[in-house]
Amino acid sequence: MKHLDAAELDRLKAMSLKIKEAEKAVMELKELGKGVPVVEKNVRSILSVTYVLKFGISDLAEMEALD
């Protein structure tokens, strides 16, 4: 696996933070939208996307930070 330079790692960490912030905002929306089918459905979709982003970005940032 190619190791990232400091700038790339910083960018990954910044993206990871934004993904976590987005996920937190969606979870808050989920609470507010309980019982509203369109909100519940769309929250599930958004959380699926944040999961994929987290898997691709956050996990990579954490793995690189451990090396």
Select the more confidently predicted residue: 65 or 20: 20
* Amino acid in the structure at residue 15: M
pLDDT at 66: 60
pLDDT at 13: 86
- The verdict on residue 45 lying in a domain is yes
pLDDT at 48: 95
| Domain ranges, residue 38 | 6-66
pLDDT at 21: 96
Please name the residues in contact with 40: beta carbons below 8 A apart, sequence gap of 6 or more. Answer: 30, 33, 34
Select the more confidently predicted residue: 59 or 37: 37
Domain count, the chain: 1
Output b/e per residue, 27-54; b: 16+ Cβ within 10 A: eeebeeeeeeeeeeeebeebbeebeebb
The yes-or-no verdict on residue 53 having pLDDT over 80 is yes
- The verdict on residue 1 lying in a domain is no
pLDDT at 57: 83
